[in-house]
Copies of this chain bind each other. A is one copy, B any other.
Amino acid sequence: MRHVLFAGFLLMATATTGAAQTPSGKPILDAATSDPVTMGWMQGSPPPPDKRIERAVGDHLRFPMTRWSFSHMREFVPTQRVSRGSGEVRAFPRAPRNDIDAVTFTPLGGGAAMTWGQSLDANFTDSILVLHKGRVVYERYFGVSAPDTRHIAFSVTKSFVGTLAEMLMAQGKLDEAAPVSRYLPELAGSGFGNAAVRQVADMTTGIDYSEDYTDTGAGIADLVRANGYSPRPPGYGGPRDIYAYLPTVKPDGAHGAAFTYRTVNTEVLGWLVARAEGKRLADVLSERLWQPLGMACDADWVAADPTGAPFAGGGLNPCLGDLARFGEVMRNGGVANGKQVIPAAVVARIAAGGRREDFAKAHYPLLPGWSYRSQWWVSHNPHGAYTARGIHGQAIYVDPKAEMVIARFGSHPVAANSAFDATSLPAFHALAERLMRAD
């Protein structure tokens, strides 16, 4: 049994160097040849052995099985329901445009010009929806995706949790300057104990933890083994829930000195939200966002540890339209259905971004001049765009100036945003400019 953490992490070196095979000897497939319908995963009673996706051996986290499993995560792990309640679905008017597939852009880092339509395959897009001025101008589903498909959002989950945390800060239920230990005395002896809530939200904590998905000894590996998202190796003796794991994270360096992207911060932030509200995190998300935003679908939230804690840093599975609903309320200063669902000040703080000098220290060559604020990535481009980002191609992209919101799910083989940023970010921006010109 190969120990798998995230889909494709073993492929990173080979895929980026153009090698033709995965370590198991299977050829690397493109979007068309890895189409999950064509491949026939989990069809038949029973599915033929070579068409099964088996959690026990980590199949559901390995490309190309991920092209099916990312849309069926609840079939592999326990999940909680984030309830949309029983209210009306917030419907968007439809104004489809047929000029979008031909929009051209130049990938980051150079290379030949590409069309929007070509970028979908390049990025292993599973589904994508574009809102312009609140109207659906573009919506596509591929493979096993449909409007009601719940797809894992990976780190887009973080932006939901970060927004909840900002909402509690705005209400005074969390003090951004307070040390984490004020709310979570369990973490007093950990690297988080004397970090400020703001530093956790903005990921500027100084802790001994690595997000390297290629290292089975990294902190992220410990984290997903502890919370049950990832299969545990035989004889595993480590922490068996997230609350047992977090106190073990040691300090390393000063807090507030630099942005370092680490999922473990979001686990602490989710704990802070749950503790401050005295409720399960999934219920907070339902009450504060899922119900008032008129979400179309209950979401599935991976919650595989015995405490019932959801995977705050990466386990939410919404349907595509609900990503767009979240982006749209952000674009509208927190207003949806005529109500101020998120305080305008919260949206403004996020959109304004964090300290760019902190971000610069993290050396993202494709994201020059960006910052990170409360679990959102802020471009500081002329449009003021900001985005929620998840590995394998998940995104909510908000472009205030173009009045555009993009929601995307994907199942790219490589577990790093850098694998598809080059053909995503300039595509999004080019579409924004096209939509602005068209008016």
Contacts and interface: CB of A to CB of B under 8 A. Distances in A.
Interface of A: 42-43, 45-47, 52-56, 74-81, 83, 86, 147-148, 150, 241, 243, 271, 274-275, 280-281, 298, 303, 306-309
Query: Which 10 residue pairs spanning A and B have beta carbons closest together?
Result: A45-B274, A46-B307, A46-B243, A54-B306, A42-B308, A75-B78, A45-B275, A76-B78, A75-B80, A74-B79
B74 A78 contact: yes
Given A45-B307, A74-B81, A75-B303, 19 more contacts: A43-B280, A45-B243, A45-B274, A46-B309, A47-B307, A52-B306, A52-B307, A53-B306, A55-B78, A56-B306, A74-B74, A75-B78, A75-B79, A75-B80, A76-B78, A83-B148, A86-B147, A86-B148, A298-B298
A197 to B, nearest CB: 16
Contacts of A86: 147-148
Residue from A46, A47, A274 whose CB has the most chain B CB atoms within 10 Å: A46
Contact of A306 (B55, B271, B306): B55
Contacts of A298: 298
Nearest to A277: B45
A45 B148 contact: no
Contacts of A307: 42, 45-47, 52
Q: Tell me which of A47, A241, A271, A275 has the highest count of chain B C-beta atoms within 10 A of its own C-beta.
A: A47
Contacts of A46: 241, 243, 307, 309
Contacts of A78: 55, 74-78
A77 B75 CA distance: 8
Residue of A56, A75, A309 contacting most chain B CB atoms (<10 Å) = A75
A274 B47 CA distance: 11
A275 B271 CA distance: 46
A373 B302 CA distance: 39
A79 B53 CA distance: 15
Contact of A308 (B75, B80, B308): B75
